[in-house]
Structure 1
Amino acid sequence: MTTQSHTQIVTCPDPAVDHLGRHGYLFGYPIAHSMSPLFHQTVYDHLGLRWSQLLLESTDMLQFLRLLRDKRLFGASVTMPHKLAIIKYLDDLTPEARAVGAVNTIFRRRDQFVGTNTDTIGVAQSFFQNVKDPNVVFRGRPGMVIGGGGAARAAVYALVRLMGCSRVYLVNREASEVEAVMSWCKSQGYGDGLIHVSTASQARTLDGPGAIVACVPNFPPVTESEKEARRVTEVFLEKAHKGAILEMCYHPTPWTEIAAISQKAGWQVIIGTEAVIHQGLEANRYWTGRETSEMPISRVKEVIAKELSKSRL
């Protein structure tokens, strides 16, 4: 651990790359449990590419920016705590990254480094690839997001812009986080239909959602605000219309309290690895120039499921 500008920076040795063909990084901290390199290796092996993604478990932005300059680098995945911090160092952003205000993927455009946000595609494709009839289940109906922050913004964008939800309910223990999400989304032109649902009694007066994205850790509610947010969620789950819920929390297990409550209430549960897979395939579309239809989706799902089962042993 080193210190830069009086701030503690967690750093790591530069990964060895000379024995590789082309390479990329997953930049974040902590990421030791990440299945991302395994996922991407499965794709590259299928496509016949001598490529690899390496973990850069670090908060050292200067190290990452130096490593980006390697001509053999095809791009990088960026995760917490860097999704916002990286933006000012990039040459350009895609419309999705600009709208969400966060970057999770960097790709080369000639000599430029461009940031995009494939979490939006990851959320949307999780529903489109797993729900039999989107027109009946969620298109034209309200959507719902549990949680706040950047993940919530990406989920709202997916529900509104990509999935055709008529409006979006926001449920969270912290009202200030909801207000920040609503303010941001409105400033970017996709927040006019957002509704902060703060009480169970309010939830009872509203139409049931067709698609829910849960972006909160798997902890039992303790504070009164957490308990009320859970009651709000349960009111929506018990409504007559049964849709699909994407549980973004999948580590160490995808079977969270919210997933169990949803399944018991008659909802289709989509586990968070689906979003990881589809956002990763979209990232590889930018990096490789290949369409996602050329990528081994079934094989990737098998590999991730096997790895996830190991973590539960």
Structure 2
Amino acid sequence: MASISSSRDASQNEEPPEEPIPSPSHLDGIAYLYGHPLLNSLSPPLHQTIYNALGLRWSQFPLSRVYATSKTYPPPYTISPPVQKFVRHIRDAPKFVGSSVTMPWKVKVMEHLDDLTEEARQIGACNTIFLRHDQKTNRRLLVGTNTDCIGIREAVFQNTSSKDIFKGKPGLIFGGGGTARAAIYAMRKWLGCSKIYIVNRDKSEIEAILREDRQRPASNLRNVKIIPVYDLVDLAGLEEYPAIIVSAIPNLPPRSADEIRARRILEGFLTSESKGAFLEMCYHPRPWTELATLASRFGWNVILGSEALIWQGVEQAKLWTGTDIVEVPGLIQQIKNLVERAIEERVAPKVNL
């Protein structure tokens, strides 16, 4: 660890000079992608495709900039504006139409907004800010919601034979972060799962999800229990196996003892006689991950994370533009083509001429 610390550039320890948040005058509407790092995000081109199709002079700007690249670890080092400055700007900017929010601000930004939707409250994270007009005060309000759960829902519904095939059957979450929380909400709210198993390398992350869930007001959603599976031997005692699995971890091989333990538990579920849908939420650098390959080999219907990316973005655009993007002829296919091309370009081998 000492070698890592010593290799860091001194500028990384200094407060970088703040830069103005972009607000070009030639545009009618300005959206943002707030968070960091954003070097590989497909959000701006996805939304630009929508704006162009609707004839809008709008653009989405990523608010993440590289401020130190030499001798930094991990390179490059990026930063986004402080949350107070960002919220103050979008509150006062007349052309602001909405914002995507990513790490590390998904939780912190919520306390600075005027209102939250049920999705944001239940999931405990905000990935989208949209505007709502308050007729009583004649003010525009900043409202936080979470469209990740919509992305999960639509990715599943659009790639399975029926919306009812998961009702009354267990689901499984592999992971313990924000995406796992969105998947839990989707399984409870729309997929109709009877119970939700959760497997993760870090038991404390599972415990945090369970603790947050207990603190929420009683509701029909909470009647669907979250059941942690900590060890491979626990599988033998399960009465039912999942009909749907959502994987919400990076595409990295397991290395630590806890990662290997969690992978073996997942493999135990995959090799069970019960088969269903496997949604692989990771799509970087390529959607067809090691886990997607494994699930397919064992007979699961693999749904790629790029599908969830598309549908959560479509829901964001619907909130911002007031247009049902699905109803625009050919637009969904344009978006899918864009995402497919972008991913192919990322994984294409580099040729030195």
- Per the normalisation by structure 2, the TM-score is 0.83
Matches within 5 A, 1:83-122: 83-110=106-133, 111-122=140-151
Q: Distance in 2 between matches of 1:10 and 1:167?
A: 49
Residue in 1 that maps onto 2:152 = 123
Q: Secondary structure at the match of 1:23?
A: strand
Q: Distance in 2 between matches of 1:13 and 1:271?
A: 37
Q: Secondary structure at the match of 1:135?
A: coil
Q: Distance in 2 between matches of 1:135 and 1:41?
A: 34
Quote how far apart the aligned CAs of 1:8 are. Answer: 4.8
Q: Secondary structure at the match of 2:164?
A: helix
* 1:63 paired to 2:85: yes
From 13, 29, 45, give the equivalent of 2:52: 45
From 32, 35, 40, give the equivalent of 1:25: 32
Q: Distance in 1 between matches of 2:16 and 2:260?
A: 36
Quote how far apart the aligned CAs of 1:250 are. Answer: 0.8
Matches within 5 A, 1:122-141: 122-136=151-165, 138-141=166-169
Residue in 2 that maps onto 1:205 = 237
Paired positions, count: 310
Quote how far apart the aligned CAs of 1:180 are. Answer: 0.8
Quote how far apart the aligned CAs of 1:66 are. Answer: 3.5
Letter in 2 for 1:170: I
Residue in 2 that maps onto 1:311 = 346
Residue in 2 that maps onto 1:159 = 187
Q: Distance in 2 between matches of 1:186 and 1:168?
A: 15
Quote how far apart the aligned CAs of 1:18 are. Answer: 1.2
Task: Tell which deviates more after alignment, 55-64 or 20-29.
Answer: 55-64
Unaligned runs of 5+ in 2: 1-8, 65-79, 134-139, 349-353
Q: Secondary structure at the match of 2:302?
A: strand
Q: Distance in 2 between matches of 1:112 and 1:309?
A: 39
Letter in 2 for 1:103: C
Quote how far apart the aligned CAs of 1:205 are. Answer: 3.0
Q: Distance in 1 between matches of 2:249 and 2:321?
A: 32
Q: CA RMSD in A?
A: 2.1
Task: Tell which deviates more after alignment, 283-292 or 62-71.
Answer: 62-71
Residue 10 of structure 1 contacts residue 60 of structure 1 at CA under 8 Å; is this kept in 2? no
Residues 63-114 of structure 1: CA distance to partner in whole angstroms, max 9, x if unpaired? 3123302111101110000000101110000111111111111011121101
Q: Distance in 1 between matches of 2:17 and 2:286?
A: 27
Residues 160-193 of structure 1: CA distance to partner in whole angstroms, max 9, x if unpaired? 1111011100000111110111221233343451
- The alpha-carbon distance between structure 1 residues 59 and 214, as it changes in their structure 2 partners (threshold 3 A), is farther
